[in-house]
Structure 1
Amino acid sequence: MAEVQALVNELATKLRKRKVEGSRETARLTAELLRTVISQQRVTSAALVEVVRDVGQQLIAANPVELAVGNIVRRVLRIIRDGDLSPEVGGLTLVSQGDDGDIVEEDDKPFLLSDAISQTILHPPSLVAQLESKPNLVCHFEGKDKTPSSWQFKHQIIEGVNDLIEDINTCHELIADQSLELIHQNEVILTLGHSRTVKKFLYAAKEKKRSFQVYVAEGAPKHLGHVLANELTEKHLQTTVIPDSSVFAMISRVNMVIVGVHAVMANGGVIAPVGMNMVALAAKRHAVPFVVVGGTHKLCPLFPNNPEVLLNDMRCPSELLSFGDFSDCMDFSVGSGAALLHVVNPAFDYVPPELVSLFVTEIGGYHPSYIYRLISDYYSADDIVLQQKPAS
């Protein structure tokens, strides 16, 4: 439909132009768009799977770095597949229905329609039999529409997507509720950069009368750690800002590292802001727990070596140097015509699973070796790789 495609194009444009950033916001907008798409489509499961896959491919192509888009598409596909529980072959099925309206399955013995009709003719129900709570025979015809009712199937799918959106909106609060189990009195916590999940996690511990210190690595080149430090001091948390290069020197004073990440991969590794691997290596060297906090919408069923995964995103060089500082070095007329100075500004690091101690999600804490189980719970094996449509 033209109206639905316009909404898809609008979100794809925002993703392409980086007007929507961050896993949580990206996941929420994707889920809300898919809910709208499903409400406007035919209700057969095959049609919904095809439409959701097509929309997901458009959104993923707009910004492949935002892995949360593909995660939500796969979650919605799993909801659709879970709602499709009826058999493939159509036919006539005879079941019994009680007075309360509940369907009661008969035993495995085949029951013919002719038998039901003959019993009704030869033995008409008496008044006493009608007043007794005996099940009534109801015939259901199962065709290619695999659901007992079209509107019930669509309602079930939309309710599942609504629950997914609610989980995305409340994940920060549910994760923060577990702060007392990890942060103890007079501890020193280290984090890197700015993470909204980490901020709420520390806020919750402070509000529950935990007294602790926070070391914030500034997170160059964007220095988002300065923003987090200001926000923590506003909540009267004792905060110390350190340069990224001082992490190894300060890690021996730290009791725990708590960080937010961009995505959690299928092998238990994480894609995190640049500099995180250095922090994880320092924590491993000094036996400091390295704890990752994040919602299940960041759980990606792909491995880091999958072609669909872009491990890095190159940011604008101006975050490192202003153009006026190196414009003289960009003279292509010198020598072979190549620039004398190159500025590389990667956005992400990859942290292998052996450096991660614990994942804290809205449904609890898990070891990296348990990630495979969460993937099997949230994703269908048929949707792990979203195949591109063949060119016409």
Structure 2
Amino acid sequence: MTSEHPNAWAAAAIRRLRAEGRAHGPTPLRPLPLPALRDIEVYLKDESAHPAGSVKHRLVRAMFCRAIASGRITADTTVVAATGGAVAVAGAHFARLLDLSFRAVVPAKTPADTLVRIEREGGRWQPAEQPPAAVQQEARALAERLGGHFLDHFTDAGPALAEYGEPTIADEIFEQLRAEPHPVPAWIVTGAGTGATSASIGRHLRHHGHPTRLAVVDPENSAYFPAWASDCRDYATGMPSRIPGIGRPRTEPGFLPSVIDLVIPVPDGASIAALRWLHDTAGVPAGPAAGTGLWGVCHLVSRMRAAGARGSVVSLVGDHAEPYRNTHLDPEWVRTRGLDPGPYADAVERFATTGEWDAG
């Protein structure tokens, strides 16, 4: 137990969280060399450069700030999350920064590499006893038993980013493009997991009056494209995404379709083909969701070329390739999951070398 007044601890904790963000500065905005494209530049906003290695780093930092400011996290609180992904790694990172205990309830098939990363950040994990659909409830119950705080990234991420997310990804993109040939991008491309990142970017574009349009790329099995296309806010597929970090079997509370200009459905085989091109040809060590984003970029650039438009396109790199060397970057793993990147690989290579795109 600490004798420090709760308000003093809270203020110091939030200062420490914000200082962590300032210390690492904006994540890099890297040009993607595509010599065949004239008058159109493509950039990758590399969120894997965060200390926890993913775009979820911003999201979880904002959630910690909001929970501390509202008194839900104090100096003695155990923080609990329900995920075997990047949110758990980021949660462990920030808990360690604040000398808090962190527990993750992880699905049974969570990759061993992710569990090692949670432990490396000082967190603890335990396998879920319930099916994947019930992991959230199990983690919430654990938090209640421990008198802790449940880090509900599906419900709380959007409000947290709105209140404590500055500087946002969009803030950084526009500042980094200031001296580039086309400082106001024609498109920003991202995936949607919780929906909070796309909502944050969309709000920024409208708040500042930018003519930039926002595209969300959506993998197979995900509910976001059909929800957006049908204007059905509670659409559900009941099937998990095979592209980590993006896609959900149901529309989450943070998804804000009103700020999105286009949702592009992307076959999982296409995501893998584009991922391989990024990794093997472009030398970009990105995770699978970046492949999904690149497929969307190809589609958008082809539309710009057909219209004779000039400009820039920015796509997010949500995480690093390292956690996926034994999964999405392993040809045998891909084959056994029934994923076939072959039909899509030629389209990506042709686009990269000629600028031509006929994949729809």
- TM-score interval (norm. to shorter): 0.3 to 0.5
Normalized against structure 1, the TM-score is what?
0.30
Task: Please tell me whether Structure 1 or Structure 2 has the larger radius of gyration of its CA atoms.
Answer: 1
